Structure 1
């Protein structure tokens, strides 16, 4: 695949896409991103990603690409890279700024889209509950994909030290919010439930797809409910993972449940 990117309105070699050292995305993590799945040479669910990006931009008072601009830019990058299966990452920063926290009134955002080959993930994972990080369900940052991922990085490092693959994040009330990169879906009574956004869960795109398919409902969850569930899944735009252990406790698995979710999310079914 050709090593090019879409950078501030044009296709260019990745090595020439230079970010200013004073860019607020670099100095302050001031920006947003979206991870887009590419399947059979097209970007999936772009309208949902564009809507979340617009919502985040409105909260941050950050100009972001419109849906039409995202469609045009991703099509240009698809044509340049000939990517068939993989992902794209769209990053928007507030651009170059002066020292201090308050942004300039006049903003020229930096917009970058990269493309990466790779198949979606369907796998089993071991999970621990993070003791270091709690998700603040009252924060508006829970509703957007901001560039500031330090809490999630700390939780993921905590999981790695414990020999686990992922960390479960609880909110300030001790209930389930999400994991470092995924929405939590619990299978119970043959149906599927997931925490409400008000619990600190990111309004994920894969989550929205399952709602549109009528497959899931919202309900606050505790860690104990995960242990007692028929199965627990972690979903995002790039795959589905089945939780086999939570804090060392073995969890039940459901091949039929995983297949239902994979079909709804257009993921390869387990053999």
Structure 2
């Protein structure tokens, strides 16, 4: 399951880490606080992400965090022009939990559907059946846009793993092909900082489920709380966490700061022997 064609491009996840850029066309996203809500700003962010080396661009119209209802029609109005702007620049991903939105964006050229609800609506699996699109199945306990205070786990990594295995089985039972499935343990989604740190230490157990693993770590609260850093000062901690996650099996990193992650990821690949230097002159 390591070699796949995604968005018309070949990926060997045994030797390749994908840089997945985040572009949110929302007024209330947790990190960018609406900076790319305006369509012009969102399309500029898409072009900048591609120029900075993004392999994939993940476009969101509704955050996971609690907030007011956004209709499917409004979500599509937000994301569809950005999908069109991203097409041809990178593999297009759309962060959505709605099957009707997934179907529309796949038809418009999206190669990845990123479902943070973990198939809460099983029809999301049906939306990718018979297409070439990838389906990201993410662990979360609550429905998107709802609160889930003080989540409790006996063994967070084991429980996340059991959840993902069950949702993968659900997807397969509805006709999703194994080579369409990506898993995401859902850092900070209905998890506190101790949970996310424990999950990160044991990411190899999640990777062992056998599907390419996405890690969405960028600037999250478990990094801020660990280091006592505010939202806009978490890049160094995020990069350290990203490299650690790669060593534990992550193969897709969902990131805000594309250029910094591009360098950290490509350097990690080179140190692992997966990538040659761009050039060599030193001591030659």
Query: Structure 1 length as normaliser, TM-score?
Result: 0.27
Query: Structure 2 length as normaliser, TM-score?
Result: 0.26
Q: Which structure carries more strand by proportion?
A: 1
